[in-house]
Amino acid sequence: MAARSIASLSLSFGLVSIPVKLYSATESSATVRFNMLAKDGSRLKQQYVSEKDQHVVDRAEMVKGYEFENDRFVIFSPDELKALQESPSQTIDIVAFIPDKAVDPIFYDKAYFLAPDKRGGKPYNLLMEAMRSSGRCALAKWAWKGKQYVVQVRPAEDGLVLQQLLYAEEVRSIKELGIEKVTVSDAELKLAMQLIDQISQDTYDPTMFEDEEKKRILAAIDEKIAGKEVVAMEPVEPQAGGQVIDLMEALRASLGTRGAAAKGKPAGKAAPEPTPAVEAAKERKGVKRAPKVAEEAAVAAPARVRAKK
């Protein structure tokens, strides 16, 4: 199925305006979800209950308010709430170009793809190649869905990525943790560097990794549907918390173990062969389930839809 654009926008820098289309760069991981049910297997519905008199409040009777003091609220009408929202903008305004590694990934939020719209191919490719050649990315402002965003526009393999960025107050400082500073010896550092070099790769291949936990759960669900009992795995006994570990010996042992495991194997080897449980999850031919969209909607309903009295 061909990708469907979310919006038609304009990417602007200087006097140049590039017509672009916006696409989602990611999708739901389709996490295995379980519905809340009564013991007889019937579905449950969520309701809002007034703390004052314990009666169920219908959605049509609800209003929104901001708590400015303990248990004191200022009420906003729907029109007032709408007035608070940032006016949507069809333009992504580039305000600066910075080194492509200048933004710490901790500030990354949701990602989108940008593709050229009609008559936008030439300026789109010009901007992409200019950023790639200069080793820089763009910082821009963009209003979307009632909120003002700072975004990064950067060249990817075949196009441009628009990355929403978090504001400074949305990211905590690691300094708050008060992490202890400990000096390491040259010998310890040398062994650690050898271990890093031994298992280093030049690129990141996301296809090397699969959600094994999800596959295991889906396989267990198939067994449950078939009438079998799901048995918990034996827990792994943790090592004693007070055990003293010789760091140098642990590093040497790690080098030996990694060296034996990697002997004769090329770098970047694909993930290991799947287990029988994983194969069972792949097959999944005998069990029919509701379509993904309907299933997710049914699961999400308790969190969004409030039943009427």
The pairing of strands 91-99 and 160-165 is unpaired
pLDDT of residue 80: 85
Q: Determine how many CB atoms are found less than 10 A away from the CB of residue 45.
A: 11
Total residues found in the chain within this entry: 309
Domain boundaries, the chain: 1-46+80-170, 48-79
pLDDT tens digits along 153-195: 999 989 999 999 999 999 999 999 999 999 999 999 999 999 8
Answer whether residue 11 shows pLDDT above 90.
Answer: yes
Answer whether residue 82 shows pLDDT above 90.
Answer: no
Range with the largest mean pLDDT of 47-51, 201-205, 275-279: 47-51
pLDDT of residue 282: 46
Q: Determine how many CB atoms are found less than 10 A away from the CB of residue 301.
A: 15
Kindly list the distances between the CA atom of residue 50 and the CA atoms of 27, 79, 268, 282, in Å, as whole numbers in the listed order. 37, 24, 58, 47
Measured CA to CA, the distance from residue 84 to residue 147 in angstroms comes to 10
Average pLDDT in the chain? 81
pLDDT of residue 211: 82
pLDDT tens digits along 252-302: 888 877 666 555 554 444 444 444 444 444 444 444 444 444 444 443 444
pLDDT tens digits along 206-256: 888 888 888 888 888 888 888 888 877 777 666 654 455 688 888 888 887
Measured CA to CA, the distance from residue 208 to residue 219 in angstroms comes to 21
Answer whether residue 306 shows pLDDT above 80.
Answer: no
The SS3 call for residue 133 is helix
CATH class given for the domain over 1-46+80-170:
mainly beta
